[in-house]
Each structure stands twice: as structure tokens, then as C-alpha cells.
Chains A and B, each alone.
Chain A
Amino acid sequence: MRWAFLPAVSAFALVAAAVANAAEPAQPAATAAVSNLQSPEQVSTRYSAYTLPARQWSIAAGALGVGDGDVYAVLAVTYGLGAGVQLNMNLAHASVGLLNAGASWHFIDTRYFDLKVALGAWYGHGDWFWIAEPLAKKILSKIDVVKVPIELTASSTPNRWLQFDLGLQYDYARIFGASSQADSLFTDNQLGLTQFFVRPGARLFIADNTAFELFARLPFYSAVVGEGSPRTVPFKHTWAVEAGLRSRFSRGVFGNIRLNYAPVSDLLYGARFYPAFEVEFRP
């Protein structure tokens, strides 16, 4: 399981190499010419109320995440349809048998306050989970997981240095055909967890090309819903905090390194304190 993120690392290397030639010179004048990380074409859509502009593609590759959308590995493709709507899919998860797709709508867009609603649909069939070790695969083969995350996120940018974000998310998840042994493999990584949580966060734009980001995931209800009665999971196993930096490497290329502190990270990677990284390419 600890090798699961290596395909995404390869993708990271390929993306980094591919964009090296298309990069702008790293000079202050050039940096100013391409605006800042709050502009629509550069703003982070992760945990914010913003979406990609119309006809904008985004390809992001990363690994070692702890949030259920980026756990183990990310190879996410996102497309902005226009009118504040974007579609996204994590191909890294789909490639190991966890089909997923999401849509977001940035429906309130004002100078100081923005709102986004997002809806996802995930389906995992244990038998498709080819990356699991033989014993785990045998157990998983009998189960299915369905998950529907519904998210409302508000963002506020009081000035050019600061942005506040607040996400409210409900994840409906149901595990079918599971024994307690089997569901633990999906619930340990929180993919199969029904959850209601808030995600407050803040971003400090320390330069035109770099932002410091701080987020917390604070669930007030977490449960495993399977064949029997729901089994609640205490807060002490489900909360998480992360701090990191996001920078514009060059025109259309962004990098992000985060440090997470989360109980779930202990189950996923053997340490509560763990890093995650991502590179995003917006052609």
C-alpha cells in the first residue's frame, strides 16, 4: 500500500519536465506582468469558493495527501465550463478502481465574498482494487462503496494579502457487502466514512507568486454506514490540520507543499505528521 502513490510521483516528474521549456524567466518584472495568485486564472480552487475560468484546463499531480479526495495520490483533471461551473476527476483514484467525478458551481461572485457549491459521486468496487495486497484484495472483492460529497464553501478576500475560507461538507457514504474487517480498509482512509465537517482556513499572500495556507478539518459527525447499524467514529480519529505553501513556478505552473498533522495519516502512512505535494499545470 505504501507504494500506491508512486504512479503520481512519475506523473509529477513528467509534468515538471514538460513545463520546464514553457516557463517564463524567474524575474520580478515578469512576475508582476502575470498578476497574482488571487487573479481568476491563478487562484487556487482547492478548498476555496473559486472555480476555473471558462475553457480552462487544469492538470494536477501529487501524492501523500490525507484528505479523501487526494489520499495516496492525485492525478486530477479539471475543466472550467464557464458561468462559474467546473468539472473534475481524479484519474489516480479511478486507475485503482475508485471511479469519481465532481462538479462545482461558483454561484456568488462579489468583490469581498464568494460562494461555491460542489457535488461529487464516487463508486468503488473492491474487485477492481488491483493495487491491494492479495489478502486485502480477497476481502475487498466482496464489497462496494458509494460516496456522495456535498460541499458549500465560502471565501472572502478582505485585501490583497489575505483570504479566508470556510467549507461545510457532508459526505454520504455507504459500504455494501462488508464485514467489519473489510470495511476497515475503506474506513481507515476515510473513503467510506459518512461525515459532516467544517473546514476553516486562511491564506496569506506573502508575495505575488506565493501564499501560505492553513486549514483544519473539524468533523462533528463521522460514522461507518454498512449493512448493520451505523458505527460512529470519534473526533479524535478524524480531525486534521495542514499548513503549506503554494507558489506560481512559472506562467500556468503551480506547486504546493503541505505538512499535515492528522490521526488518519498514522493509519495511511505510519506517522501523524506527514507531507503532501502537488504540481498543477494550467495550459
Chain B
Amino acid sequence: MLASAGWGAHTGKIVHLELAPYGASFGIDLGYTWSPGFRLGGYFFRSLGRSVHQPGETLSGRAYEFTADTSSLNGGLTLGWDVPLYQLVLRYQLGLGVTAMAWDLRGTSPRTENFGDDSSPSLGVHLAPGLTLLWPYGLFEGGLGFEYLAQIKDTIPSGFIGTLLVGVKL
């Protein structure tokens, strides 16, 4: 069982719209590892996101400014494998989960920004490959890693999240 804290950044735009639903993130990572190294787990984390003030332009060419404020909840299941690496453990994992992105567009409308009839929060499925380098120390373990949330829904940007993990082996 691991507690995670980290920072995430979005890696793409939704057409011209910049959304930042990751940023400071914290959560938990639970799992069971069989002796060969195969691990089945689950994760849940909240990302605080941030507001992005940005320019827009109507079809008629009128320029305007608006603010997109987003944050997200992410959770899912992982398949993984722990690989011994000297005194450390290199954990490969692939997550399949759901992102709920809360959004608030101030100074524009969802339809103008290609959100169509979607309402907040937007729900979407993600794939999350990741790597973590762990240092087991007795009952405790901690480490650094990343996961990449490859979002399948068009209105949620994908994101790269670097994490610091600390926890116990029960």
C-alpha cells in the first residue's frame, strides 16, 4: 500500500483549448505482488489542476479572453511486474481507469470551445503505462516514478504525472 504525491502536466490541447486538469496530485496505490513479480493493483488520485487564462476567437474573427479552470479525479486497475534491480525494484505497470475532469469555462461557452453538450465533470477512459523505481526497506518502501494518462475521450487532455511514493508492505 503506497501513498502518492506528485505533479502532473497536460501534454496536448483540445483543438486550441488549453486545459490543465493535473498539476499537484495525491492519492493511494494498492496492490498485491505474487512471488514471480506479477502485480495486480489499483490506484486513485486527485489532481488539483489549475486555471489557464487564454485568448479565443469567434468564427467572425472577434478576439476575446477566457479562463478554463479544471481539476480531475482518476482511478483504475493496474497490471504490473516488479523487476529486481540491484537493491531496488523497477515496477512496470499498465493502468486502465477512468478520469472525471471537473471544468469551468469563464468568459466563453462549452459549445464555442468544442465541448458540445458535455457537462462537468467529463468522464473518460484512460490507459496509464508507467514506471516506478522503488527502494524496499524492511516493511517500508518508497520511490519515484511516472505514469502517463493516455486519454481516450477527445475533451480530456492526456497528461504526464511524476510521483513520489511512500508506503508499507503488509
Contacts and interface: CB of A to CB of B under 8 A. Distances in A.
Given A12-B94, A206-B85, A25 B150 contact: no
A26 B160 contact: no
A257 interface: yes
A277 B94 contact: yes
A241 interface: no
B158 A271 contact: yes
A116 B96 CA distance: 37
A271 B12 contact: yes
Contacts of B81: 16, 247, 249, 255
Nearest to A209: B83
A182 B20 CA distance: 34
A209 B85 contact: yes
A20 B129 contact: no
Nearest to B82: A26
A207 interface: yes
The majority secondary structure among interface residues of chain A is mixed
Contact of A207 (B36, B85, B152, B160): B85
A9 B94 contact: yes
Contact of B84 (A20, A27, A259): A27
A114 interface: no
Interface string B115-139: 0000000000001011100000000
B85 A275 contact: no
Given A64-B127, A209-B84, A275 B38 contact: no
B83 A249 contact: yes
Nearest to B77: A13
Contacts of A64: 127, 129, 150
A78 interface: no
A199 interface: no
Given A9-B127, A207-B85, A207-B86, A274 B11 contact: yes
A248 B81 CA distance: 10
A51 interface: no
B79 A16 contact: yes
B84 A245 contact: no
Contact of B37 (A17, A26, A271, A273): A26
The majority secondary structure among interface residues of chain B is strand
A28 B85 CA distance: 9
Interface string B60-98: 000000000000000000010111111000101010100
A3 to B, nearest CB: 6
Give the residue among B12, B90, B129, B158 with the most A Cβ atoms within 10 A.
B129
Contacts of B57: none
Given A210-B85, A269-B150, A247 B158 contact: no
A220 B79 CA distance: 40
Contact of A270 (B12, B37, B86): B12
Nearest to A25: B35
Given A26-B35, A255-B81, A277-B94, A245 B152 contact: no
A20 B38 CA distance: 6
A272 interface: yes
Interface string A50-71: 0000000000000110000000
Interface of B: 11-13, 34-38, 79, 81-86, 90, 92, 94, 96, 127, 129-131, 148, 150, 152, 154, 157-158, 160
22 contacts: A2-B152, A2-B154, A9-B94, A9-B96, A16-B81, A23-B38, A24-B36, A206-B85, A209-B85, A245-B92, A245-B131, A247-B81, A247-B83, A249-B92, A257-B129, A259-B148, A269-B12, A269-B158, A270-B13, A273-B160, A275-B129, A276-B129
